[in-house]
């Protein structure tokens, strides 16, 4: 299959690119940064998803992963550009599945205001996409991760005390790896046939953890 992934230079997008390559697929990666990933089945394209998107045919799986956490372009990058990418590449006969990297902040409202709002928008748009992709027999789902070990969180990972505080907020006392998210992505897009319009919360029980007093 031909897989288009945004934000493949590092983090979750890079782990996803490696996973789909390992499973024998052709991967096209968009990123504003260069990539060290070298494989005959991998094509890296320097593309800012907020700007002109190149013409590509025959995409089977689209993974909307590129995103930023703060700054003036959060809504434009995480929501408007994600919509533009999906409208351009997903609605064609070849499409099999679309996946969005939302965030646990979409359901609990935590983190930077624009970030939480952008990811809430992504979850709603994912459902809208599911409704419109059904005629192609294609699925649309999203992953809402809590903490994941990626360079996005370097400022936390580099501070042992802060890192431990974050881990203590979760029920399982851990964060996910980018590879775990990539495995789940593969399942959702390439194994799953019947689940569509759904958002999966992968937060090590962070939102479930509560201190209810009986």
Ligand X SMILES: NC(=O)c1ccc[n+]([C@@H]2O[C@H](COP(=O)([O-])OP(=O)(O)OC[C@H]3O[C@@H](n4cnc5c(N)ncnc54)[C@H](O)[C@@H]3O)[C@@H](O)[C@H]2O)c1
Enumerate binding residues for ligand X (CB under 6 A).
Answer: 6-7, 9-13, 30-33, 47-50, 65-68, 77, 101, 103, 145, 147-148, 150-153
- Burial track 170-207 (b if 16+ CB lie within 10 A, e otherwise): beeeebbebbbbbebbbebbbebeeebbbbbbbbbebb
Q: Supply the residues annotated as catalytic.
A: 115
CB of 174 or CB of 193, closer to ligand X: 174
Closest by CA to 30, choosing from 51, 44, 14, 13, is: 44
The nearest distance, CB 144 to ligand X, in angstroms, is: 7
Find the Cα–Cα–Cα–Cα dihedral 63, 48, 68, 16, rounded to 10°.
30
CB of 63 or CB of 133, closer to ligand X: 63
CB of 130 or CB of 145, closer to ligand X: 145
CB of 88 or CB of 136, closer to ligand X: 88
Q: In what order do the strands lie in the sheet with 42-46?
A: 42-46, 26-31, 2-6, 61-64, 97-101, 139-145, 198-202
CB atoms within 10 A of CB 113: 11
Which residues are registered as beta bridge partners of 5?
A: 29, 63
The nearest distance, CB 15 to ligand X, in angstroms, is: 8
The nearest distance, CB 121 to ligand X, in angstroms, is: 12
The nearest distance, CB 172 to ligand X, in angstroms, is: 15
């Amino acid at each position: 299959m031909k897989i288009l992934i945004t934000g493949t230079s590092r983090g979750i997008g890079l782990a996803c690119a490696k996973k789909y390559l390992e499973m024998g697929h052709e991967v096209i990666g968009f990123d504003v940064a260069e990539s060290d990933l070298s494989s005959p089945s991998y094509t890296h394209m320097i593309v800012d998803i907020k700007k002109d998107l190149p013409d590509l045919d025959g995409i089977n799986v689209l993974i909307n992963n590129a995103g930023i956490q703060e700054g003036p372009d959060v809504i434009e990058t995480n929501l408007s550009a994600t919509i533009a990418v999906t409208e351009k590449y997903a609605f064609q006969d070849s499409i099999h599945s679309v996946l969005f990297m939302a965030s646990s902040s979409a359901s609990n409202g935590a983190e930077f205001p624009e970030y939480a709002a952008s990811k809430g928008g992504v979850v709603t748009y994912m459902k809208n996409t599911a409704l419109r992709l059904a005629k192609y027999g294609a699925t649309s789902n999203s992953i809402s991760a809590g903490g994941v070990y990626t360079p996005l969180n370097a400022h936390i990972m580099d501070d042992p005390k802060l890192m431990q505080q974050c881990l203590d907020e979760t029920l399982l006392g851990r964060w996910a790896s980018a590879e775990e998210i990539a495995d789940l992505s593969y399942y959702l897009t390439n194994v799953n046939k019947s689940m569509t319009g759904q958002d999966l919360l992968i937060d090590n029980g962070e939102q479930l953890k509560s201190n209810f007093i009986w």
